[in-house]
Amino acid sequence: MLGSTHDHGCVGSVAGIYTASMPVFVVRNAAGGNFAFCNFYEGESRHRLNYGSYNDDVRRGLDFLRDELAPVLQQVIRGTGGIPLKPIIGRALRMGDELHSRNTAATTLLIKELTPQFVEYAVDTSKDRALTALRFFFASDYSFLRLSMAAAKAMADAARDVAASSVVTAMTISCRNFAIRVSGLGDEWFPGPLPEVSCKLFDGFTDEDVQWIGGESHITETVGLGGFAQAAAFGLQAYQGGSAAEMVTMNSLMYDITVAEHPDFKIPYFGFRGTPVGIDVFKVAGSGIQPVIDGGLAGKDGGQIGAGILRAPVECFTAAAAAYSRRYGT
């Protein structure tokens, strides 16, 4: 039996799937009381299950996550009593992350937070297992992405089902189209064409190699991260726009299609202005400004082949605006 990750409080990265044997991070929204989940980052190899690859190396990597990494992390995280993620995300934005395509600072801050418990685990349980887990994180800068996605899902789900709200609470890509959900319109998805993409491909690949294989990682953009915090992460400019100036321009436009500025997620370049948050379907439909998404690209033969900018299609937002008007009036 198959089900949508969004209907189960979790996020699938690119073609990410969940099975009963996979360990997951559990994130609790303390204010809303809801939970969200995300499975683990598989490591730095270009060929990963979430990018459509499956072979002996991928299987061994998944076995490692389940049998070696997860048991250590379970004990280490429980030893902390739980880790507040919003402070890590806020600090990482000030250190050069945007929490979608760049999570280097956030992963470092996470390991710093867990270091006392790793030391205790090494002393009380197993030094070798502790070091193995730490070496994985030291080599895997994208590890925190799975936590930023789960945190974003927990935040976005807390904003669902608000009567008369025209704010987007989820976005998704399939192999065939792009779709959004809106807070005041229940569980209905409003589809449109696949997003426009401006990308930089890894050496040896061309545009003909790009394959859409789905994904929900842009839940981060719905809460003011990723493409909505680009100006915090100029280190990504080679992939996101080609220059710091272009990143600033794209990020600035997002303020025109959102309803608020985030009180906790701030961008130093903008004088610590809060990130634009709360995509409004009427503002997108009326202005034609497309939400910007930072993302990776998969290849037809599996594996990641590049990264770049995705622009959500306006058609989703005009369809949602029309449905809103039918329900609530103009």
pLDDT of residue 319: 98
> For 277-322, what is each residue's pLDDT tens digit?
999 999 999 999 999 999 988 888 888 998 999 999 999 999 999 9
Q: State the Cα–Cα distance between residues 189 and 199, nearest whole angstrom.
A: 27
The residues facing 306 across adjacent strands are 201, 297
Give the global pTM.
0.95
User: Residue 293 — φ and ψ, nearest 5°?
Assistant: -125, 130
pLDDT at 330 over 80: no
Q: Where in the chain is the domain with CATH 3.90.1710.10?
A: 5-150
Q: Helix 104-124 and helix 85-94: axis angle, to 10°?
A: 130
Q: pLDDT averaged over the chain?
A: 95
Q: State the Cα–Cα distance between residues 307 and 254, nearest whole angstrom.
A: 20
Q: Where in the chain is the domain with CATH 3.90.1700.10?
A: 165-328
pLDDT of residue 4: 86
> For 183-220, what is each residue's pLDDT tens digit?
999 999 999 999 999 888 999 898 888 888 888 999 99
What is the CATH code of the structural domain delimited by 165-328? Answer: 3.90.1700.10
Superfamily the domain 5-150 falls into: Enterococcus faecalis V583 domain (3.90.1710.10)
